[in-house]
Amino acid sequence: MINKAELVSEPIRALGAMSGTSLDGVDAALVVTDGGNILEFGASGYWAYSPEEQEILRDALGHWSGSRVDAAARVVDAAHAGLLARFDCDLVGFHGQTLVHAPRVRGTLQVGDGQVLAEHLGVPVVWDFRGDDVVLGGEGAPLAPFYHHACARYVGATRPLCFLNLGGVGNLTYIDPSVATPEASGALLAFDTGPANAPINDLMQVRLGKPMDQGGAVAAQGTVETGVLELFLADGYFSRSPPKSLDRNHFGDMTGLVRELGNADAAATLTAMCAAGVARGMEHCPRPPSQVLVTGGGRHNPVMMQMLRVSLDCPVVPVESVGLDGDMLEAQAFAYLAVRVLRGLPTTAPSTTGVPAAVAGGIISRPIGGHGSRIKAT
């Protein structure tokens, strides 16, 4: 199906899928790319996890194996199979669902089986994007920066800028678009900034039975508790130099820090923690960025966006301001990365994950009867 395209630089119609740490559902998006340049954006879609499925996933967080992990894997495989079958594509980039991310301790775990998806969809599936990077000494995250570099060049950026993804965890990518390739020295600096939507969502679920603080409505009524904010910023993570990455539950005591606060003050303080983590992270940028383009669910929270604008010394705007889709950027990233893996191009580098040298990490699974299954990328 794509054998000819594997040997040359012809564009591939790739479908990427992302199930993030917010545990709300699966995003899928098509990208036409040669693995270097973005040539065209295609259709996108979303599959919401049911409350019961969300609970299964939440129950498996922090576990490496066992019945909880098996149950989470079944949820992830079924959701992706249902959503991705709606699309016509030549290749799939499948991230899976992160349950544990502890690269300096034991590794990283994303559940979901790319071979199962390849059989179901009848096309090659690239997956396990993080494993090789971690084995070689990298953080295995964040993974979207190479795609952010392609996006910056796609929109015609000429000055350094940042992409800020506010999902369950926040991550920042500093980009110098004048550097032609993402793995080259000076092109990128990337790292997780701290928690973003995850603790706010958890607070809303536990206290109000809601999945999120829709539109920042609860936080807008509250006051930030500065003492709690200072305790949060005292965490040693913020003094570490990047590249660096976080597990969803690294700051697991955040809800404990706001336990004594009312709903509105707690939501406002957790939102301020996200913005403060980003502000601390910006101190690591090699040069002041011309702007910060915000992607992920956090850009829909006007309280969070205003806190960022007050904290940062440059324009802070949604990625839609330059014609990109902030809801689908991460899914698109895995479509782009899948093509790079297929063609042996790097997907991570010292400046994005701390891996000693650039690596093209991933497994390529093909439907049985094609060219073999679970082929290790080289």
User: 15: which 2 tokens?
Assistant: 């479908």
Residue 230 burial by CB count (10 A; 0-12/13-18/19+): exposed, middle or buried? exposed
In this structure, which topology does domain 156-322 adopt according to CATH? Nucleotidyltransferase; domain 5 (3.30.420)
Q: What is the CATH number of domain 3-142+328-376?
A: 3.30.420.40
- Structure token pair of residue 166: 């506010």
| Tokens standing for residue 99 | 């349950």
Cis peptide before 350 (omega within 30 of 0): no
Calculated CA dihedral for residues 177, 180, 182, 184, nearest 10 degrees: -120
| Distance, C-alpha 20 to centroid of its chain | 7
Contact call for residues 375 and 366 (beta carbons, < 8 A) = yes
Give yes or no for a contact between 359 and 347, defined as CB atoms under 8 angstroms apart: yes
CA–CA separation, 112 and 352 (whole Å):
24
Q: Please provide the DSSP assignment of 232-260 as one string.
A: HHTSGGGGSPSS----TTTTTTHHHHTTT
Using the CB atoms, write b or e for 203-220: b if 16+ within 10 Å: bbbeeeeeebbeebebbb
Residue extents of the structural domains in the chain: 3-142+328-376, 156-322
CA angle 239, 244, 247 (to 5 degrees): 105
Q: In this predicted structure, what is the pLDDT of residue 82?
A: 96
Sign of the torsion formed by the C-alpha atoms of 243, 133, 72 and 100: negative
DSSP character for 50? P
Q: What is the pLDDT of residue 8?
A: 54
Q: Supply angle C-alpha 304, 307, 313, rounded to 5.
A: 130
Q: What pLDDT tens digit does each residue of the chain (378 aa) get? A: 555 445 457 999 999 999 987 888 999 999 999 999 999 999 999 999 999 999 999 999 999 999 999 999 999 999 999 999 999 999 999 999 999 988 878 789 999 999 999 999 999 999 999 999 999 999 998 999 999 999 999 999 999 999 999 988 899 999 999 999 999 999 999 999 999 998 999 899 999 999 899 999 999 999 999 999 999 999 999 989 998 888 766 776 777 889 999 999 999 999 999 999 999 999 999 999 999 999 999 999 999 999 999 999 999 999 999 999 999 999 999 999 999 999 999 999 999 999 999 999 899 999 986 443 443 333
- Predicted TM-score (pTM) of this structure: 0.91
E-only strand ranges, 34-114: 38-48, 91-102, 107-111
What SS3 state is found at 18?
strand
**Torsion angle of alpha carbons 136, 139, 144, 150, nearest 10°?**
-50
- Are 276 and 306 in contact by the 8 Å Cβ rule? The answer is no
Any idea how long the chain is? Answer: 378
| Exposure of 195 in the CB half-sphere (CA atoms within 13 A) | 25
Domains 3-142+328-376 and 156-322 share a fold: yes
Q: Which residues contact 245 (CB under 8 A, 6 or more apart)?
A: 101, 103, 139, 140, 141, 142, 171, 191, 192, 353
pLDDT computed for residue 96 by the predictor: 97
